[in-house]
């Protein structure tokens, strides 16, 4: 219908237009036909492809069904075997359980039988126990009667013993206690004596070995000096020149040096007296210089004194540095070095304190090495232990306290400070270094020739030694021998037995340590002697 309309329209439009439109219509119809043929062909191909796919799908489905059936059969067989296996295991468990139950039933039956037997035995034991209780009660009654009889008999025996012995029960008990105590004392004394002897032997041998090696290796000089300086004069005429007109020269000397000049009848000698050893040395050198120069007047005296003082101060510093170098010390404060050098002019009982300090340092260091400990602290403490003596005439207090204050001021170590404080037992030594310094000080001071003592002080010390030893009960006589290094004590044998001599010697030694000052050590020898005398007529 549409084509007819188009054709009619073309006819109306004109011949050319109509031809063109007719051509278009025909082309469109041909194209439509061709399109229908193509579509039908494509549909046929699609149908064939679909049929092929369906066929392949059916074949694959058949294969899958076959595989599924095989797998299902395999799974069914596997499940059947597992079920059979599990069934066998359960049957075995049931069988084992039945066996155990049967065994338990048998055991229970046996236990029932044993319980029955035990009950029978228990019944018999209960009967026996009742019989035993009855017998025990009867025995208790008999024992009570026997005890009463024994008490009566004991009282009668005790009365008879008191009548025969003439002592009461308390007196006899006290006598028995005294006898036992005396026996215990004897045994304890014997054991203590043996123990002390063994310890002393070992300690003495070891100490002797260490001290002997230390002294053998120490080669310090041992020189004593006088505590008063003496200046020799070429003639007695020089005394007048030293005194000067109206005593102006001697006053100038005493003022410039700070010492006292003693001019007496002793020929060709002037004595210099001062508590300060450095001032005394300055005065001695100044006076010797003036005597050699020959020009003695106040101006010259002041000039020489100033010059000598500077030389002595330089010598003091040099002596301190030399001492520190010889001891092998490092890090010593410069002020400590100066104070240490002043000990060169300080003497104690005739012993030069600087040389003594060096000797103590050597000995303490060597003993520390022998004991296997660090010798540096012992060496340092040994050199500084008497440093307080350098200024003890200027500062109040003992040389120990002064030395401790100096060591604290210049930041010495705590061990060195403690060793200085403990070297005369002012405090109890708590370190090995302090003990070694104490021992080295005693060795250096007590060796023969190290110190000199005035006759008066020596006699007083010996007398006090004998008096202290004689103050104990039972002591008959005392004798100080070996220049006071040993005290022999004779005891009364009827008052002091052999065992008590050990304790008496120890008590005497402790009293001497607490109340007497002495160099080195004192041996206390207690002697008990019993003599029986009879005359043949």
pLDDT in tens, 464-488: 888 888 899 889 999 988 778 889 9
Token look-up 């006899």 returns 172
Q: What is d(CA 89, CA 488) in angstroms, rounded to the nearest whole number? A: 106
Question: How far is residue 460 CA from its own chain's centroid?
Answer: 44
Residue 3 in this model has a pLDDT that exceeds 70: no
**What is the structure's pLDDT at 488?**
92
Q: Span 432-461, mean pLDDT?
A: 75
Instruction: Quickly state the pLDDT bin for 160 (edges 50, 70, 90).
Output: low
pLDDT at 489: 92
For position 503, what pLDDT does the model report? Answer: 84
Q: Is the dihedral of CA 399, 404, 407, 412 positive or negative?
A: positive
Determine the angle formed by the axes of helices 399-409 and 414-422, rounding to 10 degrees: 170
Is pLDDT of 502 > 60?
A: yes
Query: At which residue do the structure tokens 């310090």 appear?
Result: 220
pLDDT at 1 over 60: no
The more confident residue out of 253 and 517 is 253
Share of the chain above pLDDT 90, in %: 4
- Given a cut of 50, is residue 405 above it in pLDDT? yes
Are 445 and 356 in contact, with CB atoms under 8 Å apart? yes
pLDDT score, position 222: 41
Burial of residue 433 (number of CB atoms within 10 Å: 0-12, 13-18, 19+): buried
- pLDDT number for residue 350: 67
pLDDT for the residue 220 = 47
Per-residue pLDDT at 529: 85
Q: Which of 117-121, 450-454, 491-495, 527-531 has the lowest mean pLDDT?
A: 450-454
Tell me the three state secondary structure of residue 325.
Answer: helix
pLDDT at 221: 43
Please say whether the beta carbons of 381 and 420 come within 8 A: yes
Cβ(155)–Cβ(148) below 8 Å: no
Q: Do the Cβ atoms of 399 and 353 come closer than 8 Å? A: no
* Predicted pLDDT at 7: 47
Residue 277: what pLDDT?
81
Are 18 and 10 within 8 A, CB to CB? yes
449 has pLDDT over 60: no
Whether 359 has a pLDDT exceeding 60, the answer reads yes
CA distances from 232 to 197, 249, 255, 268, 284 (A): 57, 18, 21, 6, 10
CA 347, chain centre distance (Å): 38
* 3-class SS of residue 238: helix
**Helix 298-327 crosses helix 334-342 at what angle (to 10 degrees)?**
110
What's the gap between Cα 40 and its chain centre? 117
Token duo for residue 244: 């000067």
- Confidence band for 530, pLDDT divided at 50, 70 and 90: confident
In this predicted structure, what is the pLDDT of residue 143?
A: 77
Residue 91 has pLDDT above 80, yes or no: yes
Is the pLDDT at 400 greater than 70? The verdict is yes
The lowest-confidence range among 221-225, 330-334, 413-417, 420-424 is 221-225
How large a percentage of the chain has pLDDT more than 70? Answer: 82
Question: For all residues of the chain together, what is the average pLDDT?
Answer: 80
**Overall residue count recorded for the chain in this entry:** 537
pLDDT digits (tens, 9 = 90+) for 123-143: 787 787 788 778 778 877 877
- 27-48, pLDDT tens digit by residue? 888 888 787 777 777 887 888 8
| Residue-level pLDDT at 208 | 57
pLDDT in the model for residue 223: 39
- What stretch of H or E contains 525? strand 523-528
- Is the pTM above the cut of 0.85? no
Q: Give the pair of three-digit tokens for residue 56.
A: 């392949």
| pLDDT of 169 over the 70 cut | no
Q: Burial, 416: exposed, middle or buried (Cβ in 10 Å; 0-12, 13-18, 19+)?
A: buried
> HSE of 155 in the Cβ direction (CA atoms, 13 Å)?
5
pLDDT of 57 > 80? The answer is yes
Position with higher pLDDT, 197 vs 146? 146
- CA–CA gap between residue 461 and residue 485 (Å, rounded): 11
What pLDDT score was predicted for residue 144? 80
pLDDT digits (tens, 9 = 90+) for 193-243: 677 666 666 665 666 566 555 554 554 444 334 456 788 888 777 878 888
């Amino acid at each position: 219908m549409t084509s007819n309309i188009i054709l009619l329209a073309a006819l109306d439009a004109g011949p050319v237009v109509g031809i063109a439109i007719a051509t278009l219509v025909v082309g469109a119809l041909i194209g439509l036909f061709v399109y229908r043929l193509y579509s039908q062909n494509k549909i046929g191909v699609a149908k064939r492809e679909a049929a092929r796919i369906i066929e392949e799908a059916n074949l694959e489905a058949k294969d899958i069904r076959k595989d599924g059936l095989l797998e299902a059969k395999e799974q069914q067989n596997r499940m059947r075997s597992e079920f059979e296996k599990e069934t066998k295991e359960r049957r075995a468990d049931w069988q084992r359980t039945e066996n155990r139950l049967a065994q338990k039933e048998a055991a229970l039956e046996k236990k029932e039988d044993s319980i029955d037997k035990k009950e029978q035995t228990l019944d018999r034991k209960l009967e026996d126990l009742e019989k035993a209780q009855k017998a025990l009660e009867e025995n208790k009654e008999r024992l009570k009667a026997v005890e009463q009889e024994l008490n009566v008999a004991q009282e009668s025996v005790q009365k008879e013993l008191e009548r025969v012995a003439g002592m009461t029960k308390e007196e006899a008990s006290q006598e028995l206690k005294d006898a036992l105590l005396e026996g215990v004392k004897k045994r304890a004394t014997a054991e203590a004596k043996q123990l002390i002897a063994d310890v002393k032997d070992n300690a003495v041998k070891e100490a002797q070995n260490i001290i002997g090696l230390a002294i053998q290796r120490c080669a310090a000089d041992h020189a004593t000096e006088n505590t008063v300086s003496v200046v020799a004069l070429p003639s007695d005429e020089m005394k007048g020149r030293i005194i000067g007109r109206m005593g102006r020269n001697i006053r100038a000397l005493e003022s410039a040096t700070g010492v006292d000049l003693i001019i007496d009848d002793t020929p060709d000698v002037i004595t210099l007296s001062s508590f300060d050893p450095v001032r005394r040395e300055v005065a001695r050198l100044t006076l010797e210089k003036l005597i050699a120069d020959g020009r003695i007047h106040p101006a010259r005296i002041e000039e020489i004194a100033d010059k000598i003082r500077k030389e002595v101060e330089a010598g003091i510093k040099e002596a301190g540095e030399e001492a520190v170098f010889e001891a092998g010390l490092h890090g010593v404060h410069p002020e400590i070095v100066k104070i240490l050098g002043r000990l060169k002019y300080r003497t104690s009982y005739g012993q030069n304190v600087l040389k003594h300090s060096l000797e103590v340092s050597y000995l303490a260091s060597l003993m520390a090495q022998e004991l296997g400990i660090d010798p540096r602290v012992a060496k340092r403490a040994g050199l500084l232990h008497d440093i307080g003596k350098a200024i003890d005439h200027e500062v109040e207090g003992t040389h120990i306290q002064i030395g401790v204050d100096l060591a604290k001021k210049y930041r010495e170590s705590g061990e060195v400070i403690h060793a200085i404080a403990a070297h005369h037992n002012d405090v109890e030594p708590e370190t090995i270094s302090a003990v070694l310094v104490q021992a080295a000080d005693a060795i250096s001071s007590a060796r023969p020739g190290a110190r000199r003592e005035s006759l008066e002080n020596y006699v007083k010390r010996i007398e006090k030694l004998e008096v202290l030893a004689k103050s104990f009960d039972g002591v008959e006589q005392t004798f100080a021998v070996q220049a006071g290094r040993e005290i022999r004590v004779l005891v009364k044998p009827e008052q002091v037995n052999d065992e008590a001599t050990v304790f008496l010697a120890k008590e005497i030694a402790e009293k001497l340590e607490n109340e007497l000052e002495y160099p080195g050590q004192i041996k206390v020898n207690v002697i008990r002697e019993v003599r029986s005398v009879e005359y043949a007529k």
